[in-house]
């Protein structure tokens, strides 16, 4: 069988849960865990090995950056998470410094793979990873709003009482407070929500509330248990599967945006076709005027963070 190696940088809650999901999925037959805390990575690998007897055949090991050399996808989950009350952008400075080191080490050993960023704030760090790596834009991807889209579909499916997989709805833009629900294109089996509400006597008035619960879902979990990791881990498995199996799957992930309703030079999420080359295509959505305005605002929010980071670097360089 051909070797499909996935390297995971960061064996914390997100990295380890992702490794478990990936192991059970059989999507990769080699998984390497790399963490600056080697004992933590070793402990996770030992624990994961105890699940191997019940999983598709997969080699799993603690690694060094040299082990990224043969990886099809390198997934970055290293770095701190939000503390209660923190925004994702609060994490920016801390995690950017760490990312700079990590990206340099990855690219030194593997300039050919796809880099997938999950560390927050994911969109700004995806943009930073693109700049730091010098890789083509299609090979640097952020998990972006795949998780928000999953949360949105779950809440909508509960509201409409249909299977999550039958709800077609996307969250685009920033993975964060300025994210945008695409109500204009949302549907169940091609039936738009207003019509579905009417047909089934479901109240439509609560849909706005569903978006607010989606947007704030991460904070709600963090407040109760300190971190989120199952949803993001499952999301990462889907993204990696789309890439290594060359699936052309459409997922809401973050990548460099070029000329999308006048938006340029920022990483944010849009429905994106993913395959072995990474981003195959970003799909053009027919958005309403309101949605276009919100997407542009989301891009501005992200650009402000990117500029803040660039400003900090200039100050450090003394110019
Ligand atoms: P965690 O603290 O449990 O784990 C972080 C791990 O990174 C630790 O094991 C630590 O030793 C390791 N690490 C730190 N610096 C490193 C370095 N230079 N090289 C290698 N490893 C290093 O945190 P977590 O809960 O797993 O969260 C990880 C990141 O994922 C956070 O930034 C969090 O905000 C983010 N996250 C993103 C999403 C999303 O949707 N994108 C969802 C949940 C969490």
Q: 236-254, pLDDT tens digit by residue? A: 999 999 999 999 999 999 9
Cα-to-centroid distance, 98 and ligand 1 (Å): 10
pLDDT (average), residues 167-173: 98
Q: Do 232 and 215 form a contact (C-beta atoms < 8 A)?
A: no
In this structure, whether the domain defined by 146-301 belongs to CATH 2.30.110.10 is answered with no
Domain spanning 5-142, CATH architecture:
3-Layer(aba) Sandwich (3.40)
User: In this structure, which residue's CA is closest to atom 7 in ligand 1?
Assistant: 78
Q: Mind telling me the catalytic residues?
A: 175
Give residue 264's pLDDT.
97
Cα-to-centroid distance, 76 and ligand 1 (Å): 8
Q: Which atom of ligand 1 is nearest to the CA of 11?
A: 9
Question: Is ligand 1 within 6 A of the CB of residue 171?
Answer: no
Residue 205: pLDDT band (50, 70, 90) is: confident
Q: Which residue has the higher pLDDT, 1 or 232?
A: 232
Q: Which atom of ligand 1 is nearest to the CA of 227?
A: 25
Inter-CA distances, 248 with 126, 145, 155, 170, 235, Å: 21, 18, 26, 17, 16
Give residue 318's pLDDT.
45
Q: Which residue has the higher pLDDT, 319 or 165?
A: 165
CATH 3.40.50.720 domain extents, the chain: 5-142
Phi, psi of 61 (to 5 degrees): -150, 155
Most ligand 1 atoms within 8 A of CB, residue of 35, 87, 220 to mutate: 35
Residues contacting 299, CB < 8 A, separation 6+: 173, 257, 263, 266, 268
pLDDT (average), residues 164-177: 97
Give residue 1's pLDDT.
65
pLDDT digits (tens, 9 = 90+) for 62-106: 999 999 999 999 999 999 876 677 665 677 888 999 999 999 999
204/159 Cα distance (integer angstroms): 10
pLDDT (average), residues 177-202: 93
Residue 310: pLDDT band (50, 70, 90) is: confident
User: In this structure, which residue's CA is closest to atom 39 in ligand 1?
Assistant: 118
pLDDT digits (tens, 9 = 90+) for 25-37: 999 999 999 999 9
Give residue 288's pLDDT.
98
CATH 3.90.110.10 domain extents, the chain: 146-301
């Amino acid at each position: 069988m051909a070797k499909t190696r996935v390297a995971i940088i960061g064996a914390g809650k997100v990295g380890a849960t992702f490794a478990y999901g990936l192991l059970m999925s059989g999507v990769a037959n080699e998984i390497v865990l790399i963490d600056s805390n080697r004992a933590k990575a070793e402990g996770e690998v030992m624990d994961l090995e105890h699940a191997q007897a019940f999983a598709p055949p997969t080699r799993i090991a603690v690694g060094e950056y040299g082990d990224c050399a043969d990886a099809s996808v390198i997934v970055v989950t290293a770095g701190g998470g939000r503390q209660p009350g923190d925004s994702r952008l609060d994490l920016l400075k801390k995690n950017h410094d760490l990312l700079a080191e990590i990206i340099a080490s990855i690219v030194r050993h593997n300039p050919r793979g796809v880099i997938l960023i999950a560390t927050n704030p994911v969109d700004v760090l995806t943009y930073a990873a693109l700049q730091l790596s010098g890789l083509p834009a299609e090979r640097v991807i952020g998990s972006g709003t795949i998780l928000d889209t999953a949360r949105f579909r779950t809440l909508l499916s509960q509201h409409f009482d249909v299977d999550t997989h039958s709800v077609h709805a996307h969250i685009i833009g920033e993975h964060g407070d300025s994210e945008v629900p695409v109500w204009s294109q949302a549907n169940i089996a091609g039936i738009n929500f207003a019509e579905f509400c009417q047909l089934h006597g479901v109240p439509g008035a609560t849909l706005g509330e569903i978006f607010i619960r989606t947007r704030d879902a991460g904070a709600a979990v963090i407040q109760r248990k300190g971190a989120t990791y199952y949803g993001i881990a499952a999301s990462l498995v889907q993204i990696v599967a789309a890439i290594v199996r060359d699936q052309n799957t459409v997922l809401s992930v973050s990548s460099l945006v070029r000329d999308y309703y006048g938006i340029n030079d920022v990483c944010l999420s849009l429905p994106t076709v993913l395959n072995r080359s990474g981003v195959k295509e970003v799909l053009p959505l027919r958005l309403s005027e309101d949605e276009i305005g919100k997407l542009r605002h989301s891009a501005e929010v992200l650009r402000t963070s990117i500029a803040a980071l660039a400003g900090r670097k200039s100050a450090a360089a003394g110019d």
